Structure 1
Amino acid sequence: MISIFDISLQLNGFPIKKAKAELDGIVNFSEDDYLVFLQNKKEEIVTFHIQNNTFYQELTGNKKIEKWEDLPILNKQNLQKPLEERLSNGYSKKNIYLNKTSGSSGTPFVFAKDKYSHALTWASNIMRFGWFGIDFNNSYQARFYGIPMDFIGYQKERFKDFLSRRFRFPVFNLSDEVLEKFLYKFKTKKFDYINGYTSSIVLFAKYLENKNIILKEICPTLKGCFVTSEMLFESDKKLLEKQFDLPVINEYGASELDLIAFENPQGEWQVNAETLFVEILDENNNAVPNGTEGKIVITSLFNKANPFIRYEIGDIGILDEKSTPQKPILKKLIGRTNDVAILPSGKKSPGLTFYYVTKSIIEDDGNVKEFIIKQTKLDTFEIEYVSEKELDTNQIKKIEQAITLYLEPNLNFGFTRKDVLERTNRGKLKQFKSLL
């Protein structure tokens, strides 16, 4: 079989062969060699940007950098300036990989990677999917993603899909009629794996549950389902495993960086320690012990075009106690730092708390397909939901009781039934939104 995927990367100037060889070397380091590699890479990337990047020079100022902890924390606001002002010497739009973040954190920006660092991103993807018998050159992907709606953008994406052996299921409209067409494709095409946004894949699984269909039985070539970009709840994972009869693999990544963590065949969320250095820090930017939650701060060890050094991604997480520098394990991803509800009592609660509370009650009978929660005032929340029939007073009362129990009493809730929920322009569903 011809390696069309690898060849298309090479032709676009991404040296995939060299990247695969380097990645292979990193993965096979002994523990001691790995520590030396990490130390060298951290020093190398910082030195490079201090010498070649005016944006990073300004950020570090004239202060003496004696140790890693002296380096500033970079955030998304810092990066919201024209790309030309952030590129390193020797890089221009001609010799970089250029893209923009989805803005699911509310702060989109354009970023660049040098071509070798982007090739390493692909090498890392290829390796991790390979753990589950997926080969990008040969395996056929069912892709649940958004797609640009303008003509040129649309055609370009479809062509990329063709080169990458993907068939795309656009996620902007997930009505039963559309899901029925999706199902037909699974009956007629030999897909090897599913990849895409968690919320839309979960909706498809609910549709199959209603129809009493197991996906693997109608598409026996399937080997796995890889979900990304949105939280995967335990109950949803069980539903996917049941309706698809496939291993469900959870990935966590950021377009500006790389795959950050990827569930390995042992079921651990293994952090990418080959191309990234991941820290968990407290409010004062001090490292917290493993097992403690904190903000996730990431350094891209290879990207010379654009500095991502101690970059605060906007998520909160916990590293497992059994993590080692060479094999860090993400114990839990708690969600976005900006998705926090402030309550009248002054209590702060992650938006996901509401989601868990309402989810457990709403899901009993499978009537409600999806919902989002918006905080409109300190004590007022709007729940928008898509369902076959309206929530009854009994269900609403149960939700209000649970919220009083988990959060605090005297909060006001409005419930609005909708035909569809608004998604981001990429097709992601933002589960909780504070309008305060």
Structure 2
Amino acid sequence: MSNLYTKLVSGLIFPFHEHLKHHSTVTVRKQMEDSQWWSRDRLEALQLERLRSLLTKAQDHVPYYRDLFSRLSFSAKDINVLNDLQRLPFLTKPIIRKNQEQLKSEKAERLARFNTGGSSGEPLIFFIGNERVSHDVAAKWRATRWWNVDIGDPEIVVWGSPIELSSQDRIRQFRDRLLRTQLLPAFEMSEAKLDGFVETIRRTRPAMLFGYPSSISLIARHAEKRGRPMSDLGVRVAFVTAERLYDHQREDITRVFGCPVANGYGGRDAGFIAHQCPQGSMHLTAEDIIVELVDQEGNVVPSGTAGEVVVTHLATSEFPFIRYRTGDVAVMSEGSCACGRGLPILQEIQGRTTDFVIAVDGTIMHGLAVVYPIRDIPGIASFKVVQETLERVVVQIVPGIDCAPEVETMISKGIKARLGNSVDVCVQRVSEIPCEKSGKFRYVQSLVVQG
């Protein structure tokens, strides 16, 4: 009966829902399920065709790009190969903030206002049209089906975005019940809330989980601490996104829920950039997104080299994202996947530029350099590292039952060994470490490295 209901939702109810919202999601998803098997050359030809279309629409109908192209003596017709895109300057958050109205297409209809959480500064406000929504939902839907689950299968969503939480009106609640989706707010993770979340998941017996890796792994560890089994519920996969997925989080979720973890990479601003397939590869949504990786000078780096992720979203003609600097750092792979899909692969997603720290001698290193020495110390329930200056690091810890009195000394020694002996390491014992306003959690934040 459950499978019949899932087929009813994915084949009829959800498509009708998308039709009422003027979305082309179903058509786009079907096209993507075909094109995912294309060769790299054929996918690049599609990207080039769609890039010309996007740039033409931007030149004709978007005031910001019309003026920019005029100043550069650039024409969309001049795009002959994908690398020609590099002739255009980057789009940055300050540019978007300054040119919100000028970035709207004169042909745009039904634009929806969105914003990022502003975890590293001022929130970014931007606009999304139906074309972009349709393509983003289709990309997520395609990736969901890679794991033998579908829209209509019971789902628990652990999320903290104000947009979702402010939309829980009667219509939204009815729709979620119809689609068998239940939201658990990730804003508050108190002991009592976690008890409730564990019981809700046990009662719901979802086929899939979706949410922040920090939140789902926290629920997993709490269930384990309470002695509540979760591996017998039939959870087939846990989709995680919006944060860096750490190995220990994947291990916690897999161990407790007895299911694989599928990583997803993207954001409200940049779109759904990549999804993990069952063979483990992070496949780019190449039909919709062109990804460039650039160094600190803005030069494109080769595959195998870490660089900042720059995104051109090809379904954003109503509010274009062209060469948008995300502030994330990743590594591209030249390899192919055993799954047979032609979609390009991200070899590694290292996190945001602000997830890196700088040693006193100027060496830039990933935040894991200060995460691992703390995680190796027993008796720490939770922690966060903030690099305030080159000479000062603040570490907040939530002590566990067996937290030793010498833990401060151990932490200080571990961080000094990596960042320099002259660094002042301030360790603070706290009862709770709050999430970001968005509900996300960040283990490391550098105020020295600016993204």
TM (norm. structure 2) is 0.87
Contact between 2:38 and 2:342, CA under 8 Å: does it hold in 1? no
**Structure 1 residue 369 displacement after superposition:** 2.5
Over the matched positions of the two proteins, sequence identity in percent amounts to 25
> Which position in structure 1 is the counterpart of 2:81?
none
> Which position in structure 1 is the counterpart of 2:195?
180
Q: Secondary structure at the match of 2:414?
A: helix
**Please, which of 108, 112, 127 is the counterpart of residue 127 of structure 2?**
112
Using the alignment, how far apart are the partners of 1:333 and 1:150 within structure 2? 26
Aligned Cα root-mean-square deviation (Å): 2.5
**Structure 1 residue 159 displacement after superposition:** 5.0
**Structure 1 residue 150 displacement after superposition:** 11
**Structure 1 residue 260 displacement after superposition:** 1.0
> Which position in structure 2 is the counterpart of 1:284?
297
- 2:156 is the counterpart of 1:139: no
What letter is aligned with 1:308? F
- 2:286 is the counterpart of 1:273: yes
> Which position in structure 1 is the counterpart of 2:52?
43
The C-alpha deviation readout for 1:337-393, integer Å capped at 9, x for no partner, is 13443443333334342223322x23x3xx322211122333111111223348434
What letter is aligned with 2:56? T
**Please, which of 295, 304, 312 is the counterpart of residue 317 of structure 2?**
304
Using the alignment, how far apart are the partners of 1:233 and 1:149 within structure 2? 26
**Please, which of 332, 336, 351 is the counterpart of residue 335 of structure 1?**
351
Once the two structures are superposed, the pairs formed by residues 46-65 of structure 1 within 5 Å of their partners are 46-65=55-74
Structure 1 residues 150, 102: CA separation in 2 closer, same or farther (over 3 Å shift)?
A: closer
**Structure 1 residue 212 displacement after superposition:** 4.1
Using the alignment, how far apart are the partners of 1:82 and 1:153 within structure 2? 28
> Which position in structure 1 is the counterpart of 2:115?
100
Using the alignment, how far apart are the partners of 1:57 and 1:406 within structure 2? 49
> Which position in structure 2 is the counterpart of 1:89?
106
The C-alpha deviation readout for 1:127-172, integer Å capped at 9, x for no partner, is 1000111111x21111111164999644366455335421111122
Using the alignment, how far apart are the partners of 1:151 and 1:191 within structure 2? 20
> Which position in structure 2 is the counterpart of 1:232?
245
Contact between 2:165 and 2:185, CA under 8 Å: does it hold in 1? no
**Please, which of 130, 138, 145 is the counterpart of residue 123 of structure 1?**
138
Using the alignment, how far apart are the partners of 1:390 and 1:239 within structure 2? 20
Gaps of 5+ in 1: none
Once the two structures are superposed, the pairs formed by residues 202-217 of structure 1 within 5 Å of their partners are 202-217=217-232
Structure 1 residues 300, 326: CA separation in 2 closer, same or farther (over 3 Å shift)?
A: farther
Count of aligned residue pairs for this structure pair: 427
**Structure 1 residue 185 displacement after superposition:** 1.5
Contact between 1:59 and 1:72, CA under 8 Å: does it hold in 2? no
Using the alignment, how far apart are the partners of 2:103 and 2:61 within structure 1? 10
TM (norm. structure 1) is 0.90
**Please, which of 22, 33, 38 is the counterpart of residue 13 of structure 1?**
22
**Structure 1 residue 305 displacement after superposition:** 0.6
Gaps of 5+ in 2: 79-83
Contact between 2:360 and 2:390, CA under 8 Å: does it hold in 1? yes
Structure 1 residues 301, 356: CA separation in 2 closer, same or farther (over 3 Å shift)?
A: same
> Which position in structure 2 is the counterpart of 1:403?
415
Using the alignment, how far apart are the partners of 1:334 and 1:60 within structure 2? 33
Identify the range of structure 1 (304-313 vs 50-59) with the bigger mean alpha-carbon deviation.
50-59
Identify the range of structure 1 (23-32 vs 265-274) with the bigger mean alpha-carbon deviation.
23-32
**Structure 1 residue 78 displacement after superposition:** 1.0
